Structure 1
Amino acid sequence: MNPKNDLFLRACKNQKIERTPVWLMRQAGRYMKEYRELREKAGSFKKFYKNVELAVEASILPKKILDIDAIIIFSDILTPLESIGMNFDFKEGEGPVFENPIKSPEDIKRLKPFNVEDTDYVGQIIKGVNQKLNREIPVIGFAGAPFTLAAYMIEGKGSKDFKKTKTFMYNHPQAFKELLDIIADMLIDYLNLQIQSGADAVQIFDSWAGYLSPKDYKEFALPPIQKIIKNLKRDYQPVIHFTKGVAGFIDFISSSNADVYSVDWMVDIKDAKAKLYPKAAVQGNLDPTVLYADKEAIKKEVDYILQSWGKDSGHIFNLGHGLMPDMDVEKVKFLVDTVKELSFKVRS
């Protein structure tokens, strides 16, 4: 059964739309009092996203509070890595920290085969959201891209320069490609599980690929994403490809063959449209820090993006990256309402 509000899905496919659909990356997060209460009830971040009931509640908060046009499930990009033997936990102020990071090509050989049943709770979250919202709006599943996950596995945590990852990549290019291929095969199964469980779309997050040169991106990061997209078992479900730092790759990124490209604020939306549309739809691309400004400034920036895209379909309004924990929920709601209001005017 298709969702009642299919505006987001129509925009993904460049079909006719009445207004621009809007959802926001990290739209269920600590800036919401209700989210903080759920997280406290869970006890830890990992227990939170593994608790189906609480994760469903967190996922649907943006529909209740913001009235967005699509739900992205509450989970984490690192979720499937435990199944292949990567042990990690989330430390306050540090984010994820791995007990057993990959330091040599030999370490890749110790990775276990991925068992999709280990992530069955993610499928249950998708089913729970669809049931709870009575198919009101589309549900988006997601995964981290192979390069981004490999970077976490090698660095052992987040990084400012990804020195260990890139050193490994340059010293052991073949082993690095093997690692990316292992991750790609895992993600094909993982995303297919999400689609089979009722996800209406899936987004691949390549948060760290912007640290690569265009040459290295083409050689290492792009092929495994092409492989994933090619091997997904889907009917109508679009794939969204998000690369932070996409400006360096905008001329050739469409060769990943995604249906939608999510772009950050480092590329002008007009340039993104010129390079990607109508072969694919475009998602983005407000700088999240605009939400710290006053409402007039927010309205001005929203208007610029909507006017720059114009009356064509094929645009989903979103941020260039995720919402931050200290943002004002009232301003986030104002942003969503403003997109709806102004996009009607642009299209009239």
Structure 2
Amino acid sequence: MSASAFLNAATRQQHDDRVPVWFMRQAGRSLPEYREVRAGTSMLESCHDPALVCEITMQPVRRHDVDAAIFFSDIMVPLQPAGVAVDIVAGRGPVIAEPIRDAAGVDRLRSVTEDDFADIAEAAGLVVAELAGYADDKPLIGFAGAPFTLASYLIEGGPSKDYARTKSLMVGDPQLWHRLCERLAQISTTFLSAQVHAGARAVQLFDSWAGSLPLADYQEFVQPHSAAVLAALGELDVPRIHFGVGTGELLLAMGQAGADVVGVDWRIPLAEANRRLGGAYVLQGNLDPALLGAPWPVLAERVRAVIRSGAAAPAHIFNLGHGVPPTADPDVLGRIVELVHTEGPALRAEAREGRP
């Protein structure tokens, strides 16, 4: 059994005395020290500066005492060595210079090797070295975007509300779609592998926009490619977290793609997610990030409710149901961590024993 509360939960060996907690997008955004250190440096430039990546990744660990660090990067980063010209535009998100909408565009997308991510590996190594100085074992989580979400950005040319171009290409030209996603699966796998080989001890595959699909389309067009990524990472013997937004109807299929831990957004209680998943997976989540501005007594009760609901699962990693908003008060996040650590074990034990 690991000394890490996070890794124990992720591998279904959760200690009775600890409910682990970390936050998606904890590295950056809401922290004043992040804004200070990022001043004058673009997002993509920041992602390629190993010392800066290490500093940003570690900031929430120092401030909040979370149980794991999430590698600071962007899902667009691995597309750059594949030949994609992309910019992260403030207030909009990723913008693709030449969207991919035909066979010629897919053919332009190059395969990548871990050598293409030498700066990523260096940054991960720096983080792992700093995490080694903590008395309690805090692992680094590597992350990447899933093929569907990457494809949606490449096809749409940027963020979208309805993913109309993506869905039209997906169902209208399945052969081209699968060729594109096979290439993206190779890119995501290599990006994650580089982080694991540099010391990351868990990974999270973000399929942020998979919730826009009905189950049948997810199973036919998306699941096989996410499964390819997760299967490859399984060979590296690290816990695999699979997360998407609005995926209540897809949870079982996402788990069956090869997850050890299924991330759940805020739309359904964790106990219901566990029921849909047949009690077969560790759950991660799922406090609504929009509630972070609520009065503390109200928010604290919602945190407790998440812990109680999560007790239905074989193990539970506390998190938000999506990323930390940029307007979040860092002190509130710290109070949540303290509550989860101090009250979480008793709340989980009581819920599992069926007591109110």
**TM-score bucket (shorter structure):** over 0.9
1:121 aligns with 2:119: yes
Range that drifts further, 147-156 or 300-309: 300-309
Q: Which deviations, in whole Å up to 9, do the C-alpha atoms of 1:255-292 show, x marking residues without a partner?
A: 11211000101121111122336422110011101101
C-alpha displacement at 1:253, in angstroms? 2.7
1:19 aligns with 2:18: yes
Q: Which deviations, in whole Å up to 9, do the C-alpha atoms of 1:121-175 show, x marking residues without a partner?
A: 1111111001122263110001000000000111111111111111111221110
Contact map agreement 1:211 1:245 (CA 8 A) in 2:
yes
Q: When the two structures are aligned, how many residues end up with a matched partner?
A: 345
Name the aligned partner's letter for residue 123 of structure 2.
I
The equivalences for 1:17-166 within 5 A come to 17=15, 18-40=17-39, 43-134=41-132, 136=134, 137-166=138-167
The equivalences for 1:270-309 within 5 A come to 270-276=271-277, 278-309=279-310
C-alpha displacement at 1:191, in angstroms? 1.5
Distance 1:9 1:251 in 2: 22
Distance 2:311 2:319 in 1: 16
CA RMSD of aligned residues (A): 1.7
1:250 aligns with 2:251: yes
Distance 1:193 1:105 in 2: 28
Distance 1:277 1:216 in 2: 22
For the structure 1 residues 154 and 301, does the alpha-carbon distance in structure 2 shift closer, same or farther, using more than 3 Å as the test? same
Name the aligned partner's letter for residue 308 of structure 1.
S
Give the corresponding residue for 1:219. Answer: 220
Range that drifts further, 105-114 or 29-38: 105-114
Contact map agreement 2:279 2:313 (CA 8 A) in 1:
no
Q: Which deviations, in whole Å up to 9, do the C-alpha atoms of 1:212-238 show, x marking residues without a partner?
A: 111111111111111111122645410
Distance 1:251 1:196 in 2: 29
Distance 1:253 1:175 in 2: 23
Structure with greater contact order relative to length (CA < 8 Å, sep ≥ 6)? 1
For the structure 1 residues 44 and 16, does the alpha-carbon distance in structure 2 shift closer, same or farther, using more than 3 Å as the test? closer
Secondary structure of the 1:220 match is helix
For the structure 1 residues 33 and 170, does the alpha-carbon distance in structure 2 shift closer, same or farther, using more than 3 Å as the test? same
The equivalences for 1:225-236 within 5 A come to 225-232=226-233, 234-236=235-237
TM-score normalized with structure 1 length: 0.95
Secondary structure of the 1:261 match is strand
Contact map agreement 2:281 2:314 (CA 8 A) in 1:
no
C-alpha displacement at 1:209, in angstroms? 0.6
Name the aligned partner's letter for residue 129 of structure 1.
V
Name the aligned partner's letter for residue 114 of structure 1.
V
Distance 1:284 1:139 in 2: 18
For the structure 1 residues 31 and 105, does the alpha-carbon distance in structure 2 shift closer, same or farther, using more than 3 Å as the test? same
Contact map agreement 1:283 1:317 (CA 8 A) in 2:
yes
1:196 aligns with 2:197: yes
Distance 2:259 2:275 in 1: 16
Distance 1:79 1:101 in 2: 16
Distance 2:76 2:298 in 1: 35
C-alpha displacement at 1:313, in angstroms? 5.0
1:10 aligns with 2:8: yes
TM-score normalized with structure 2 length: 0.93
After the TM superposition, which segments of 4 or more aligned residues of structure 1 sit over 6 Å from their partners? none
For the structure 1 residues 318 and 251, does the alpha-carbon distance in structure 2 shift closer, same or farther, using more than 3 Å as the test? same
Distance 2:116 2:310 in 1: 42
Structure 2: runs of 5 or more not aligned: 351-356
Distance 1:284 1:150 in 2: 25
Distance 1:13 1:111 in 2: 36
Distance 1:20 1:277 in 2: 21
Structure 1: runs of 5 or more not aligned: none
For the structure 1 residues 118 and 235, does the alpha-carbon distance in structure 2 shift closer, same or farther, using more than 3 Å as the test? closer
For the structure 1 residues 27 and 311, does the alpha-carbon distance in structure 2 shift closer, same or farther, using more than 3 Å as the test? same
Distance 2:314 2:217 in 1: 33
For the structure 1 residues 277 and 128, does the alpha-carbon distance in structure 2 shift closer, same or farther, using more than 3 Å as the test? farther
Contact map agreement 1:14 1:278 (CA 8 A) in 2:
no
Distance 2:251 2:131 in 1: 36
Secondary structure of the 1:231 match is helix
Contact map agreement 2:81 2:116 (CA 8 A) in 1:
yes
Name the aligned partner's letter for residue 114 of structure 2.
V
